[in-house]
Chain A
Amino acid sequence: MLMLRLAFRNIFRQKRRSLLTFLTILFGFVLSSLVIGMTFGTFNGVVNTFTRTNLGHIQIHEKDYLDRPALYRTVDDIPRISRLLGSLPEVEAWAPRCYAAGLASLGDRTSGVQVIGIDPERENGASRFNKKIKEGRLFRPDSYREVILGTGLAKYLKARLGDEVVIVSQAADGSIANDAYRLVGLLESGSVESDRVAFYMPIKSAQELFALDGRAHEIIIVARRLDQVDALAGRITAGLQNPGLSAQTWKEYARSFYQYMMRDRRSHRTMTYIILMIVAIGVLNTILMSVLERRREYGLLKAVGTKPRHIFALILLEANILALLAVAAGSVLALALNGYLAVHGFRYAQEFTFGGMQLSRAYSAVNVDTFAIPAATVLVFTSLVAFFPAWKASRLDPARTMRLH
Chain B
Amino acid sequence: MKNIPHRFLPLVLIALVLPTCPWAGPLLSVPPPASPAAQGNPAGLFADAGPQAAQSSPASSARQDERVQKIIRAIDEMYRSRTSHARMEMVVVTPQWERTLTLEAWTQGLDKTFVRILQPKKERGVATLRLKNEMWNYLPNTNKVIKIPPSMMMGSWMGSDFTNDDLVKEYNLKDDYTVTLTVPPEAEAGLLYLECRPRPGLPVVWDLVLVAVRAVDDLPVWQKFFDEKGKLMRTMNFRDIRAFGSKKIPSVMELIPQKKEGQKTTVRFLDIEFDVKLADDVFTMRNLSRPL
Contacts and interface: CB of A to CB of B under 8 A. Distances in A.
B12 A113 contact: yes
Interface string B119-160: 010110010000000000101011010111100100000010
Interface in A185-203: 189-191, 193-194, 196-197
Given A189-B2, A191-B2, A253-B3, A168 B19 contact: yes
Given A166-B146, A256-B1, A112 B19 contact: no
Given A112-B13, A113-B12, A174 B1 contact: no
A196 B4 CA distance: 11
A55 B3 contact: yes
A63 B66 CA distance: 57
Contact of B144 (A102, A174, A180, A256): A180
A105 interface: yes
A191 B1 contact: yes
Given A113-B12, A114-B8, A174 B141 contact: no
Interface residues of A, number: 41
Contacts of A175: 19, 99, 120, 122-123
A24 interface: no
A201 B227 CA distance: 43
B97 A168 contact: no
Contact of B137 (A168, A179, A193): A168
Given A166-B146, A170-B19, A112 B139 contact: no
B15 A174 contact: no
A174 B159 CA distance: 8
A194 B2 contact: yes
Contact of A114 (B12, B141, B148): B12
A111 B144 CA distance: 15
Contacts of A254: 1, 3
| Contact-size category for B | 35 or more
B12 A176 contact: no
B160 to A, nearest CB: 10
B93 to A, nearest CB: 9
Interface in B81-122: 92, 94, 96-99, 120, 122
B11 A101 contact: yes
Contact of B8 (A70, A108, A196, A253): A196
Contacts of A178: 126, 139, 141-142
B146 A103 contact: yes
A110 B147 contact: yes
Nearest to A66: B3
B9 interface: yes
Contact of A112 (B1, B144, B152): B152
Contacts of A55: 1-3
Interchain residue pairs A-B with the least CB separation, the first 10 = A112-B12, A101-B15, A174-B97, A105-B146, A174-B99, A180-B142, A176-B19, A170-B17, A194-B4, A101-B12
Interface of B: 1-4, 6-9, 11-13, 15-17, 19-20, 92, 94, 96-99, 120, 122-123, 126, 137, 139, 141-142, 144, 146-149, 152, 159
Given A105-B147, A168-B137, A197-B12, 15 more contacts: A55-B1, A103-B146, A103-B148, A105-B144, A113-B12, A114-B4, A169-B16, A169-B17, A172-B96, A174-B97, A178-B126, A178-B142, A193-B7, A196-B9, A197-B9
27 contacts: A54-B2, A55-B1, A66-B3, A70-B15, A101-B11, A103-B146, A105-B147, A110-B146, A166-B142, A168-B19, A168-B20, A169-B16, A172-B96, A172-B97, A174-B98, A174-B99, A176-B19, A176-B122, A176-B126, A178-B141, A178-B142, A189-B2, A193-B8, A196-B9, A197-B8, A197-B12, A257-B1
